[in-house]
Every structure is written in structure tokens, then in C-alpha cells.
Amino acid sequence: MDGAFPAQLPRFDRRAIPPFPCGTSPPLRRLTAGSGDAMERETNAEKKAHRRKKLTCRGKLRVLLDSSKVELFTVSLVLVYLLFIVIDIALPDVAFPCDAELKDTWQRAFWCIDMGFLCLFMLELGIRLFAWGPIYLRDPFNAIDAAIIIGSFTVAIIVFPSVFAQNANGDSVRSTSQITRLVRIVRVFRLLTAMTKFQKNRASTDVRRKKAKYRKTGSYVERVIDILQKLRKSSPFMEHNEDRENLNFIIDIIVSDQLYAVHLQGGEGGVSADVQGFLQQTGVETATRRNKGQTGSFSKSDFANSGATQEELAAEGADGRKMRQSASRLANNELLWVDKLLDEDEVSAHLADAFKWDFNMFELETKSQKHPVLTMVLHLVHTLDLEDQLPINMSSLMKYLTVLEASYNDPPFHNYLHAADCTHGTTYFLLQPKVRQHFSPLDIYSLILAAAMHDCAHPGYSNAFLVNSKHEFAILYNDSSVLESYHVSRAWRLMLEKGQDPFEGFAKEQYTEARQTIVACILGTDMKFHFDHLTKFKTRVGAGAFDSPDRKDVRLLLTMCLHAADVSNPAKPWDLSKEWTSRVMDEFFRQGDAESEAGLPISPFMDRSKTNIATCQVGFINILIKPFFLEWCQFLGEECMRDVFANVESNVAKWEAEGEAVLGDRLEKIKTPPPVAARASSAGMKT
């Protein structure tokens, strides 16, 4: 059965080990330092010998030509040759100014030496061309060097007979030879190239010696960097400055912590200052910092009640009381009440479309008597046959969903309705054929619960607000994914009560795997990881990793499903997207009011008197949502491109064309500060 683990691991049986042959004993581990070093040297020598055996003849030549000894020999040879050329140009006219016969004798002797050098250089060129092939000449320096050698050798062959001819014009021959040798002085750049390469080989050798003692504990990234370093030293392409700079950039990025960072360019034609500020606040680009001299606090009661005082909670409307009364009634008689709810024709008819992207969660809230989380999760568990594939205690699950749903606060956006909508969106992505095949029933059950839990007890304020206001939870979670850590912890604490553990009856291994999945995926909903997810996902898609994914890749797909559902409001059909936008902007503006009351700087897009909602949405969609859903939907297939990504494009076009006026009467309501929010902020944000 998929997703199931054995209740008990098999015990180790010593009798199953076959005995050693008679007269022998099992090999003992060498404990002395000397024998261990000798064994290590022997192993390394064997590995090197094995690698040498695998090299072809041309490969061996490349290794030989790139060695320090060969480079040193080449440098010495070029130096000696340049010295002879300088002597040939200067010495005859100084030493034999009037003796033409001695000049001719010197010329013939030196020409023989010159031919010897040229033959050596031709041999070197031939060996290099054989080792690397025509690719060697793609480097301009190598091509020029080869042209000089071949041209000089050709001229020498042509002029050689005239040097020893009896009737040769000595002055003409000397002039020709000196001109050709002057051209060959250009080979000095070969000397510079060889010297530079030799110095780098020496430097890299020193580095390798210093790092030798760390080889045993080296990581994969060290191995990758080592390979790139060798490539930089040995490849003929690396003689290009641009190629060398590109490779240096790759190495620098790998060893830094910026591999998955996204840098957005501002200014004209780039990202607006408001969008950059919003991204910085969410931690996407830079960490949010508290400005010097600013004060503010946020009490625990504010966190629990989403900014409302106890008096205001007592005076809440009939809808809120009805939800809590229903939750209490369900906890006392959960099976009968839930069965009756799910069997109602109106609810059943609406849930028939639960696997469609345009499912209306607002209608389910009404038809389910304000229990959308409970209704949606139970419907999914039943429809996907998870209760038959996993040891789910339905009574414990229903009790847990009851208290989980009741634990959600009532901010405009991050409430139980968003949790239910995220659960629906997560399941939609989970069941796409491209990824469904990689998920076990335990994966699906865990992620459905993660979606229902992911914003448990959300206060309606951002991580940046909690950090800037020095809230106790920001201190507790060290300013890192404060809300996400709190949601996981708060939701998991609900499981500790007797009779409301959704994993009751699961094997220990199943519980451990489910918890790891849920924690990782909920922490992954922090917007500061948005571009990390996108970049890693694109990298793994490009590598073909999802054709046969390992557990780490499966966990990445699960995280992508939940995160995509969490930020999917701009990908909904327009009517649904507009309603979600109105709610999230209302929540943003309430935070702006609270920040103003607390003496904190108002976050980008949260000042109700200055923010243009359409501008906010266009920037958010174009910078964050559109690139993400383009990659995600292209990977999932044509259905997602048609049903999901098409909405992203049409929605952003509508915001650009009609502006925030498209919200109609709702716009004035959003822009008007509610008295409750004003009183809550003044009560909870005292400095």
C-alpha cells in the first residue's frame, strides 16, 4: 500500500552473517596513523592509476601539455629563441661591420639554429593540434601563434636555398631573414601566456596542498568548485578574458549565499520603488530592518484576537457566534452532524465541482454553515479514498478540523475561508497528472492538512510588522519566518489534546514523514522563499529531475503545490480574484493603520490614503505571480495553462486598463478606516 510503513523494522540477526573461510579472520581496521596514511596513499594511487587507464592517448597528451613541467620547458625554449633573435639582429652589424664574409658565415650558422627552433615549434604545434583538435585554434591567441609558426617555417624553407647559394646577395638575404625574425618576436605574447599559466598552476598547487587534509570531509559543492577550477586552468577556452570572467562568476556565486537570490533593477523601465519596498518587507530581496529611533510594541492579546479587544469580540456579529456555536455542537456530536451536513443536496451539488479551478469557496462558506475547512477536507479525504489507504481515525480527524477551524481569527483575508480556498487549490495542483504519479497517499493527506493548517491563528499582520514591533513571537522565532513557525506550532499543539490527533493510529515512521512534510511546506509559504522556490524548480526541471524524482525533489513539488495555491488569488477567475483582492487590501490597510498608531513606518501598499490598488496589483502580478505561474503551469501542462495562467494574464490586463475604479462601490469601503480597526490599533500599539 502506497504511503504505508512497516509497523516494526526487522531485527538484526547475527546468524545471517556467513562465516569466514577456515583459517582466515575478518579484516581488521588499521588504527595506527602510519598504516592509515599508507593505506590512504595506496588508495589514492590506485584511483589515479585507474583514471590514467581510462584516458585516451589524446587525453594523456592534454594532461601532459597542461603540466607545469611542460609549461616551464616551453617558457625556457621561447626565452632562448628570443635571445637568439635579438643577437642575430644586433650582433653582426656591431661585431663585423666591414667583413661581409664573416657576416655570411654567421648568417648560415644562425639560420641552421633558427631552423632547429622552428622545427621544435612545429612539432609542439602538431602535438597540440593532435591533442585538442581544431578546437585549439578557436582561441585567437592560439590561432595567431600557429599562423606565426607556420608562416615563419614556410618562409624559412623558401629562403633556405638562397642562404647557401654561391651567388646569393648577402645583404638581401640578411634583410629578409631579419624581417622574418622581427615578425617572430611577436611570439613574446606566447611567453607571457605561458608565464601566467605557470604562475596559476603554482598557486593552485599550493591551494590544493593546503586543502588536502579536508578531502575526506569535503562536500559536493567543494567537488564542483574543484572541477570548475581545473576546467579554468586546463581548457584552452579559458584563455579568453570573457570566458574566464564567466567561470569566475560561476565559482563566486556557488561559494556565496546568493545562488538563488533575485536582484531587481529599479529606475526607469525597472521595478518601482513601492514594489521594491514591498519585496524587501517580505524578505524577498533584503531583510527588513528596524529604523533607528523607532519604537512600538505588539501584545500577545492582539496576536490572539487579530487586533480586536475583548469587548469588541464580545460584541461581534451573529455570524461569528454562529460559527463558534456550530463548532462546539460539532465537537459534541461530530459524526452525525457532519454526515448530515455533507449529505445535504445543496452542499453535495456544490462539492461536485470541488476539483475544478473556478470552484467558488464563498458559496461553500454559506452552504456549509461556515465550516468550509471541515467540509472541504473531509470531502477530499473521502473522495480520494484516503481513509481506505491510510489508517485514518475519522473521529479524531473531524475533532481536529473542528478546533483547527475555530482557531482561525477573523482578519479580512487570512481567515478560515482562505485556508479552505488554499486547501482546494493545493489539491487541484496535487492531482495534476504530471505530479500525481510521484505522490503517495501519505503525501496527499499530509499536504491537504498542511493547507488547512498553514495560516492557523493568523493575526492579520505581516512578519515585518511583528519584527519591527518587537513582538514576543518575533523574539521567540529569531525574526525568521515568524508567522509560519507560529502557524505550525499552534496547529500542532491542537493535536496534543486527546481524541483530536489526525495521525492517531499511524505508524511512527508515517507520523515522522508526515510531520516533516507539513513543517517544510508551511515554512515554505514564507514569501521570502518565493524566488528560491522558483529558481530551484526551474533548475530541477532543466535537469530532468522530475522524470524520476528522489525524495528531496518530491518535497520540492509538494512545497510548490502549497505555495502556488497560497498566492493563487490573481490566478482565479476575475470575480473571485477581485473579491480576494478587496479582502487582502482591506487587511493591508488595517496593518497600515496599526503601524501609524504604533509610530512605525507604514509598509509599502498599506497606506490607505496613498496606495493605488491597481498599481499594487499590477506590480505584484508582473514581478511575483506571472513568472512563477508561467513556469509552474507550463510544467503541469495544457490544462493549467488554460484554466490558471490565462486568468493571470487577463486579470493583470484588466487592472492595467480599468484601474482601481473597477472595484466600484467596494473601493470606497476599503479606503475608509473602520472604527474597530482604529480602536484596536490604538489599544494594542502603545509605544
SS3 state of residue 266: strand
Q: Is 566 annotated as ligand-binding?
A: yes
Handedness of CA 477, 409, 447, 424 (dihedral sign): negative
DSSP-derived 3-state class of residue 271: strand
| Among the listed residues 614, 631, 501, 499, the one whose alpha carbon sits nearest the alpha carbon of residue 560 | 631
CA distances for 434 relative to 437, 447, 546, 559, 634, angstroms:
7, 17, 9, 15, 11
- 514, 503 Cβ separation under 8 angstroms: yes
Distance CA 436, CA 2 (A): 13
Contact 566, 525 (CB under 8 A): yes
581 neighbors 617 (Cβ within 8 angstroms): yes
Burial 393-417 (b: 16+ CB within 10 A, else e): beebbbbbbbbbbbbbbbbbbbbbb
- Between the alpha carbon of residue 245 and those of residues 197, 252, 664, the distances in Å are 16, 10, 55
**455 known member of a binding site:** yes
DSSP 145-184: HHHHHHHHHHHHHHHHHHHH-TT--HHHHHHHHHHHHHHH
Phi/psi of residue 316, each to 5°? -65, 165
The response to whether 414 counts as a known ligand-binding position is: yes
Q: Which triple of cell numbers denotes residue 356?
A: 475544478
- Interatomic CA distance for residues 614 and 624, integer angstroms: 15
**Per the annotation, does 8 bind a ligand?**
no
Q: Is 418 labelled as part of a ligand binding site?
A: yes
Interatomic CA distance for residues 67 and 143, integer angstroms: 21
Q: Find out whether 546 and 439 touch, Cβ atoms under 8 Å.
A: no
Cα angle, residue 358 at apex, residues 354 and 360 outer, rounded to 5°: 70
d(C-alpha 421, C-alpha 357), whole Å: 10
Let me know: does 418 contact 369? Beta carbons within 8 Å: no
**SS3 helix, strand, coil % of the chain, rounded to 5?**
75, 0, 25
Which of 465, 456, 413, 476 lies closest to 592 in space, CA to CA? 465
CA proximity to 494, closest of 422, 396, 419, 564: 396
Determine whether the annotation assigns residue 617 to a binding site. Answer: yes
| Cell numbers placing 603 | 509598509
Distance from C-alpha of 231 to C-alpha of 609, rounded to nearest angstrom: 58
Which residue numbers are catalytic? 414
Annotated binding-site positions for AMP: 414-418, 455, 566, 617
Annotated binding-site positions: 414-418, 454-455, 566, 617
Annotated binding-site positions for Zn(2+): 418, 454-455, 566
